[in-house]
Each structure stands twice: as structure tokens, then as C-alpha cells.
Chain A
């Protein structure tokens, strides 16, 4: 069974690229274009890993993260934050809130993101 990855990202173009890359690596990709939609999906189906953008409409990434981590069931799902916010304070905040990894979009390619996903899923 392919692993299910939920991508919460509001930029449709970036979503398309990451979806293509992940699908080619045999992942089952589920798309959510805002935070609220993303949270609804996690609650209704089994997800293996979440790629989470931070600046999102409806509910921002930090809020999504807080919601996930306050639920004992959902808090087990690994979360990789992908964002263009690169300040140390933000990275620290996300990691403290329970994100497993933090990648600045401009500094990582989709291939490198796949590597990080593999590493975390192997654990």
C-alpha cells in the first residue's frame, strides 16, 4: 500500500510540482488548499505524513499544527513544515510545537523534500 501524504499548500503551482514529484515516487498524495480543509481531511482518513505550509488562508500552519498536536491520535502523524518564512524564531516555534522538520522552500528542491520524507517515514 502506498503511503498517504497530505500536502497543505495554498500555492497551486507549487502544489502541482510537489504532487507530481511525490506521485512519481509512489506516494498517494492528497491535496488541501487551506488549513481548515487540511485539518478536516486528517480527521477523516488515515494519513501517514503531512507537508504543511505556514502562511495559509482560513487557518494558518501554526494553528493547524497546534490542533494536530493537541489531539492524541493525530499528534502521532509526522509533520514537515515547508515554508518561506526563514527566521530562526519561526523555525524554533514550529519545531517546539512538534514539527518533525522545517524546510525553507527556496533552499530545498522537491527531490530533497522526498529524501526528508523517506527519512522520517523510516523511523
Chain B
């Protein structure tokens, strides 16, 4: 392997010893089977402000002697756990995306590669973008409130009576303004998700209670649209879950709202709950329009709206399911669906039974 040669000559820095790894823009650390450093490329020297010769042949735990290495060693542990593109703050304003891969031979770990990618600029610009969205959305709230309040006082006749036609025009304006308000709310949720500070307080929660309350809160809408809503509770008692209740309510609410919106009158929505000691699974099934097969891949992406529903309904921001997925994954759950056009869609999600949750931003988030 290419680094073996390097190991033999590690002391000399002649041009002839330079290998491909010297030219990588990512930092590369290679450990042997005893978790000792066999290679640290120039990028690593730069990232951690050390010289290769000072860390070669040292075990990973030994690296904590250098302050700059502490966060990485704490993160990977003495056994060097595997991970894929996890963000790690090495010091203030310096974030590396860490990938650690074990190299196996005949079922035995013979080496570990740790690849370090500098994402400081990207994270900083993500943060600035989120902050901008938050600021812009907040700025939009004040005028939309003023519009909402004045239209409402017109509608309620507080400042004089309106004729039918005037009332109708004002109602249209009111509904349109409410759309802007809900878009602003979605944008604020989105910005919070992307800043990674979305899950705030978790408490032991009864999933079925949450679902029941969502069904009740939407009863007016389901009755108006002549939709039957059935709730199949679990046959066995479900374990309580550590949840950020408000956020899970938003997630389920978003899925349920789609079912209500895209199922024709006379249709049916069935919500079922079941689970084990380890997890709770929820299914939300509708007899609605379904998601076209060729668009199913993109369902959970930001601003996605399927062709068939865009034609029928111009409302909707395309953020609901993206937000739902992020909330569920922040609870270390999974979400997926089955759908057939003109037959219906079933969304499924699971939430594991856990004490608490790790870092929210994980893996390939953006």
C-alpha cells in the first residue's frame, strides 16, 4: 500500500519521499492496527499545528498531549470509531468534517484512515444564510400582522359595515395574507433546522396522545372536506418516548395536513400506531392523489411539490415534509412512504425509545 513505503522513510523529507497524500487538500491521518500514527500528511500538520515527526508512532490517546488534537481524540476515542462526514469543532471558527474508515483484511482491522475536510467556510456561510432568513422572516411578521389585524377589523364590522362584494374581496386578501404568514413560519422553522438548534426540550411523551390532539385540532377541516379519519391505537400499551413535543406535533401535523389537503371528499385517512419495547411506529395512510412515481425520489427535498398537486392547489410551500423528516431524524427516527398515483399515500415513521439524543447535525445534512 502506498503509505507503507512512507513509513519506512518517515524521517527524511526528501522530494523523492513525497507521496500522493502530500498533495491532498484534505487532512489524512493513518493509524496502524495498534492505533498508532503511521502517516500524517502536511494538511494535518497545518490543521493541528504539529510536525509529523512529533506524532508518528504515537498512539491516538497519546495525541492528547497536543491541545489541538483533544477534540478529535475525544470524538474518535481510543479505539477510533468509524464515522461518516461528521462535523467537529476543532477550535473556535475551525470546523472539520471527519470521516473515519477501518481497513479490514481477512476480517481483521489492520488500519484506520481518518480523513479531515475543512468545512469552516461552508458552515459559516450556512449560518449567515440562516441568520438572514430568520431576520427577514421576523421583519416580515410585523407588516403581515398589521395587515391581518386591519383586515380582521374590517371583516368583523368593527369600523363600519361592508357590502357583500367588499366583504368577499377583504376575505380573499385575508386568506392570501395568512398564506404569507404561514410561509414566514415555515421559513423560520427551516432556518432553525439548518442552524441545528431545532430540538430544544425533550420530555417523556405519549405518542398516541399527540396524535389524538392533532386529529381533534383538525376536525373542522376534515369535516368540511368530508374526509373520514380513523385512529387505530396500538393493541398493546406503547412505551413513552423522549420527544420534543412541539416539534413532533409539527412533524405529524405536516404529514397529516398533506393527507387532508390532497385527498378528495369522501376519502379516508387512517392513522395507526404500534410498537415494541425498542421503538414506536406510526402510519398515516390516505386514499388521496398519490405522488407520481417519477417524483417520489424528491419528496423530502426542500421546496418540493409534486406536479399533480401543484396543478390542483397553488398553496403550500414544499417545506412541510422536509421539516417533518428533519424533526424525526433529529429524534433518531426514520421516515419513508409508499405511494401510488390516484390510489393514495402511506407515510411511515419510527421513533426509538431512548433516554436522550446526540448531536442534531449529522452526516450529509446539506
Contact = CB atoms under 8 A, between A and B. Distances in A.
Interface stretch (B70-78, B108-116, B150-158, B317-325): B150-158
A81 interface: no
Contact of B153 (A11, A21, A106): A21
Given A24-B158, A86-B188, A106-B144, A17 B153 contact: yes
Contacts of B146: 11, 13-14, 17
Contacts of A14: 145-146, 149
Contact of B159 (A20, A105, A106): A20
Interface string A84-121: 11111100100000000000111101110000000000
Interface string A3-35: 000000001011001101100100000000000
Interface residues of A, number: 22
B59 interface: no
Contacts of A85: 138
B359 to A, nearest CB: 18
A57 B255 CA distance: 41
B219 interface: no
Contacts of B142: 11, 84, 105
B184 interface: yes
Contact of A110 (B153, B185, B246): B153
Chain B binding surface, main DSSP class: helix
B153 A105 contact: no
Interface residues of B, number: 22
B272 interface: no
B181 A17 contact: no
A111 B152 contact: yes
A77 to B, nearest CB: 24
A92 B148 CA distance: 25
Contact of B145 (A21, A84, A92): A84
Given A84-B142, A88-B246, A89-B200, A109 B148 contact: yes
B141 interface: yes
Contacts of B153: 17, 20-21, 110
B152 A110 contact: yes
A87 B137 CA distance: 12
B192 interface: yes
Contacts of A86: 141, 185, 188
B150 A17 contact: yes
Nearest to B199: A88
Interface of A: 11, 13-14, 17-18, 20-21, 24, 84-89, 92, 104-107, 109-111
**Top-5 shortest CB links A-B:** A105-B145, A84-B141, A109-B152, A106-B145, A17-B149
